[in-house]
Amino acid sequence: MLRGAGCVFAEDEARLLIEQARTPADLAAMVSQRTAGLPLEHVLGWAQFCGLRVAVEPGVFVPRRRTEFLVRQAVGLARRANDQTDAALVRPVVVDLCCGSGAAGAALAAALGRIELYAVDLDPAAVRCARRNLAAIGAQVYEGDLYHPLPTTLRGRVNVLIANAPYVPTEAIDLMPPEARIHEPRVALDGGGDGLDVLRRVIAAAATWLAPGGHLLIETGQRQAQQATETVTRSGLIPEVSRSEELNATVIIGTKSPARNVPSG
39 binds ligand SAM (CB under 6 A): no
Residue nearest to ligand SAM as judged by C-beta position: 100
Q: Which residues of 139-178 are buried (b: 16+ CB within 10 A; e: fewer)?
A: bbbbbeebbebbeeebeeebbbbbbbbbbbbbeebeeeee
Minimal distance, residue 163 CB to ligand SAM, in Å: 7
Minimal distance, residue 212 CB to ligand SAM, in Å: 26
Strand bridging mode 46-49 / 52-55 = antiparallel
196 binds ligand SAM (CB under 6 A): no
99 binds ligand SAM (CB under 6 A): yes
**Which x/- pattern, by CB under 6 A, does the window 57-76 give for ligand SAM?**
----x-x---x---------
Q: Which is nearer to ligand SAM, 2 or 168 (CB)?
A: 168
Query: Within its chain, how far is the Cα of 67 from the centroid?
Result: 6
∠ CA 132-135-140, nearest 5°, is 105
Beta bridge partners of 117: 94
Measured CA to CA, the distance from residue 17 to residue 226 in angstroms comes to 42
Stretch that binds ligand SAM, among 28-36, 74-82, 100-108, 237-245 (CB under 6 A): 100-108
103 binds ligand SAM (CB under 6 A): yes
Q: Pick the binder of ligand SAM from 73, 82, 101, 229 (CB under 6 A).
A: 101
Q: Pick the binder of ligand SAM from 11, 12, 26, 145 (CB under 6 A).
A: 145
Q: Which is nearer to ligand SAM, 81 or 119 (CB)?
A: 119
191 binds ligand SAM (CB under 6 A): no
Q: Which is nearer to ligand SAM, 31 or 168 (CB)?
A: 168
Q: Give the binding site for ligand SAM (CB under 6 A).
A: 61, 63, 67, 98-101, 103-104, 120-123, 126, 145-146, 164-166, 187-188, 198
